[in-house]
Amino acid sequence: MQIQGHSALVTGGASGLGEAVARALAAAGAKVAVLDVNQAAAERVAADIGGLACACDITDTASVQAALDAATARHGVPRIVMNIAGIGTAKRVVGKDGQPAPLEDFERVVRINLIGTYNVIRLAAARLAAEAPLDDGERGMMLCTASVAAYDGQVGQEAYSASKGGIVGMTLPLARDLAQWGIRVVTIAPGLFLTPLMKQLPEPVQQSLAASIPFPKRLGHPEEFASLALEAVRNTHLNGEVIRLDGALRMAPR
């Protein structure tokens, strides 16, 4: 599917990987809606790219519907849906104090990363299914964001790994389910990327993490993630697949 002129929606589009994707889509000619819980940051990115900023909590159906309404009114029903929003956390099952990890912490990560992603997909897909197909029969494309932690999660990453493993697990059935409507689903599982969260770590820690990557021995650039995301949109035969983008990294236990 060509990107030029189509309506696109990016969750988590106000920073990090999501911001890079939003900027790349706009540069390729898409009409972009930037969705994020941080409205001020979303407005900053949207102003830069000539897009639309929408404050949105992906776990809340009314919030997602409102964002879809706004994006559709401005740009038309989104044919490109980029699910980038998510949170990361690490907490051992049993803490140093001998107490079990709070169940609420686990639930929050799964609710945002996994349930939130599914929530956006189901609501956006229902609208897209009602649209006329493009010349090749395709109606649109949806991208999900997993993580290498889905495969080799580290100590304390139970919640994060479970949430991202869920995204990996639902990619193929989503693609099969939505195939009847000509809607593709692809997932990227990134490794260690130089996001704002990573930049908060001390420089020696960043260098140590980069050294663990076989090649190239550096943290990934958000623009590299965005490049793959746009290729997934353009390559119509790419469907139901999870692609690791990690420089051949396999995470150590800790």
How far is the C-alpha of 118 from the C-alpha of 124, rounded, in Å?
10
Tokens, residue 219: 């943290």
Rounded to an integer, what distance in angstroms lies between the CA atom of residue 126 and that of residue 17? Answer: 26
| DSSP summary character for residue 180 | G
Q: Which residues are catalytic?
A: 160
Q: What number of CA atoms fall less than 13 Å from residue 140's CA on the CB side?
A: 26
> Which two three-digit tokens encode residue 214?
């076989």
Of 222, 188, 184, the residue nearest 14 (C-alpha): 222
On the 0-12 / 13-18 / 19+ scale of CB atoms within 10 A, 138 is: middle
- Domains, the chain, ranges and CATH? 7-193+221-245 (3.40.50.720)
Separation of alpha carbons 133 and 178, rounded Å: 13
State residue 38's pLDDT score: 97
Give the model's pLDDT for residue 205. Answer: 79
* Residue-by-residue pLDDT tens, the chain, 254 positions: 999 999 999 999 999 999 999 999 999 999 999 999 999 999 999 999 999 999 999 999 999 999 999 999 999 999 999 999 999 888 899 999 999 999 999 999 999 999 999 999 999 999 999 999 999 999 999 999 999 999 999 899 999 999 999 999 999 999 999 999 999 999 999 999 998 878 877 888 788 888 999 999 999 999 999 999 999 999 999 999 999 999 999 988 88
Residues 118, 190: Cα–Cα separation, whole Å: 19
Measured CA to CA, the distance from residue 13 to residue 26 in angstroms comes to 12
Q: Which helix (H) or strand (E) holds 188?
A: strand 183-190
Cβ atoms of 35 and 78 within 8 Å: the answer is no
Q: What is the pLDDT of residue 221?
A: 96
pLDDT recorded at residue 217: 93
DSSP 112: I
Angle at 42 between CA 36 and CA 45, to 5 degrees: 135
* H or E element that contains 9: strand 7-11
DSSP characters for 25-87? HHHTT-EEEEEES-HHHHHHHHHHHT-EEEE--TT-HHHHHHHHHHHHHHH-S-SEEEE----
